[in-house]
Amino acid sequence: MILKERLVLIEEARFYFGSAQGADPLVLDEPAVTIFVGPNNSGKSMVLREIAEFCSSGNTHRAILSGLKFRKHTTEEIDALLQAWTDHKRNQGEIDHADHVFLKFGAWRTQMYVPHFRSALQNPDENINEFARTYAARHLLSLDGPSRIGLTTGQNRGDLKDPKNTFARLITDDARRKALRDVLFDAFGLYLGMDISEGASIQLRYGNTPPPNERSVEDATLEWMRNARTIDQWSDGMKAFTGMLLELRAGDPKIMIIDEPEAFLHPTLAYKLGREIAQTTGQGDKQIFVSTHSSQFLMGAIQSGVKVNVVRLTYQQGSATARMLSNEDIRVMMQEPLLRSANALSGVFYEGVVVTEADADRAFYQEINERLLAAESGRGAPNTLFLNANGKDSVNKIVGPLRGLGIPVAVILDIDALNPETNFPVLLEATNYPKPHDSIKLERAGVWSDLISDGKKPKSDGGISLLNGAAKEKAENLFDRLDQYGLFVLRHGEVEHWLPGADVPRSKRWLRNIFEALGSDPKASNYIHPDDGDVWAYVDKVAAWIKDKARRGIPL
């Protein structure tokens, strides 16, 4: 079987920066499906605007996108375009000039000097402004929330022998219309129908049964249309979902840009939309650029089986990054039960992640961080996701994949993480601690041996406060190095030792009791506000590592 070559418009998308400071700038080759993820204010919507502006006008000011490289068109392609776009009709006062033609594409119409048109399409990089304005802009569809909903508004039927718009093309293509109807039925449990019975327009309706022949006005068809509800009677999410799939399957744009397509959609529909967008785009010559905050949409796209460019953007303290995320790494995060149950994939939408060994630890540190942030003093870790594993030995399963995606993931563990019974080597691997690990493994064993000498219980009896002299200095040096790699081991033992002034005893109800001691009303006298020491300073230290552009432990 001979595979049809994908004749995409954009051969290359280039960025100003890469995965880290000093890394090579990111370059996407023939991007078909590109999904931008990242924290708020990381540039996801901005890069979509820059792509749209570059396609529309060529050279514009850009902060993220270095540029686009467009495909050179052959003489045969240009001849075919001129034949298809030339408008032989003349309006009053229009004059023909030598080597000029009137070109018409949809609502756009202009008089064009043919040699310039040919030159722009043959060498777009050298004639980028002309190429963008006269050609690329004609094939661009940029969608925000309102425009997505507007895609389902009735369209003029026109000449069905030569259909010009999306609805007209769909009503004249039974196979494509049925395929779209099947997808929409799977999403909504209702059947899409195209109504040509009112004037010269085509309207969309949803009904409980498949519509009879929509290309006729037979009694059965008219009865179905009377009983079905028009698209404007349904939710915005349903209209947006329908409109985007209409354009994907029957529209003519070669480049589609969609900002947060999951808006208005239930998570289940976001997943279906991601899957459908990736599958449909991957089968044709369309190219789509999307920004999203939805892990469900991202999962749907990845599980479509199509190669998806997932680009994580960040912007922190004046430093920007653009990192390509591995489809396989994301797929592992979706399929691994622990990662799926912990919703670890959501980490791609945050500036940082903190992982603890148990849910009580997660809840406590998250509350401490919230109070630091509420103080509005620059303390704490903003836009940070707190997750918990199921014990120390599963922490690495969350940390490793997320760090592999370039996300700063800090780990907070009780001091018994140093116990030889804990699989400490996998934590070193997950936190990207530099190899070989032999030396630090020996140090860890030595420190733990000092901690438990003479029957001491470091977790419950005070951690390194049990040590003195050289033994304590050795332990401090070990903890300092681990801190540099975002592996924060509690020096004083365990989470229950924080805030001793609250006088909360260790017990199974510790979390409930400590929350009661913390108070819930900031105006109440018993409410505990952030202080300069204790757990407040400790979470500040974790936050400082997350914020540090030169942090260690994140692979390039």
Q: How confident is the model at residue 1 (pLDDT cuts 50, 70, 90)?
A: very low
Contact 301, 308 (CB under 8 A): yes
pLDDT tens figures, 279-289: 988 777 899 99
> 46-68: string of b/e by CB count within 10 Å (b at 16+)?
bbbbbbbbbbeebeeebebbbbb
* Distance from C-alpha of 133 to C-alpha of 242, rounded to nearest angstrom: 29
Q: Hey, which CATH number is domain 1-70+123-171+236-325, 3.40.50.9100, 3.40.47.10, 3.40.50.300, 1.20.1250.20?
A: 3.40.50.300
Q: How confident is the model at residue 341 (pLDDT cuts 50, 70, 90)?
A: confident
Q: Taking residues 180-205, report their average pLDDT.
A: 94
Which residue is listed with tokens 């993820």? 37
DSSP helix/strand/coil, 464: helix
Cis peptide upstream of residue 425 (ω within 30 degrees of 0): no
Model pLDDT, residue 499: 94
Side chain identity at residue 295, one-letter code: S
Model pLDDT, residue 164: 85
Model pLDDT, residue 236: 92
> 436-474: string of b/e by CB count within 10 Å (b at 16+)?
eeeebeebbeebbebbbeeeeebbeebbbebbeeebbeb
Q: Would the pLDDT of 87 be above 50?
A: yes
Domains of the chain by residue range: 1-70+123-171+236-325, 73-118, 342-547
Compute the chain's Rg from CA coordinates: 30
Q: Taking residues 249-276, report their average pLDDT.
A: 92
Which residue is listed with tokens 């400082």? 544
Q: Would the pLDDT of 106 be above 90?
A: no
Could you tell me how far CA 208 lies from the centroid of its own chain? 35
The stretches of 306-454 forming alpha helices (DSSP H) are: 327-335, 337-341, 359-374, 395-404, 424-430, 438-451
Q: How confident is the model at residue 555 (pLDDT cuts 50, 70, 90)?
A: confident
Question: Which of 321, 352, 555 has its CA nearest to residue 434?
Answer: 555
DSSP conformational letter for 390: S
Q: Would the pLDDT of 2 be above 70?
A: no
The stretches of 342-420 forming alpha helices (DSSP H) are: 359-374, 395-404
Phi, psi of 300 (to 5 degrees): -60, -40
Q: Taking residues 20-49, report their average pLDDT.
A: 94
Average pLDDT, rounded, for the chain:
93
Model pLDDT, residue 3: 37
Q: Taking residues 317-321, report their average pLDDT.
A: 88
Q: How confident is the model at residue 364 (pLDDT cuts 50, 70, 90)?
A: very high
Contact 113, 229 (CB under 8 A): no
* Distance from C-alpha of 201 to C-alpha of 196, rounded to nearest angstrom: 6
Cis peptide upstream of residue 211 (ω within 30 degrees of 0): no
HEC-encoded secondary structure of 344-364: HHHHHHCCEEEEECCHHHHHH
Q: How is residue 200 written in tokens?
A: 């010269």
Model pLDDT, residue 481: 96
Model pLDDT, residue 209: 96
Q: Would the pLDDT of 6 be above 70?
A: no
Side chain identity at residue 417, one-letter code: A
- % of the chain at pLDDT higher than 90: 81
Q: How confident is the model at residue 139 (pLDDT cuts 50, 70, 90)?
A: very high
Q: How is residue 311 written in tokens?
A: 């680009």
Question: CB within 8 A of 265, min separation 6: which ones?
Answer: 237, 240, 241, 273
Angle between helices 267-282 and 236-250 (to 10 degrees): 10
Q: Would the pLDDT of 110 be above 50?
A: yes
Q: Would the pLDDT of 251 be above 90?
A: no
Question: Which of 383, 364, 414 has its CA nearest to residue 528?
Answer: 364
Q: Taking residues 478-494, report their average pLDDT.
A: 96
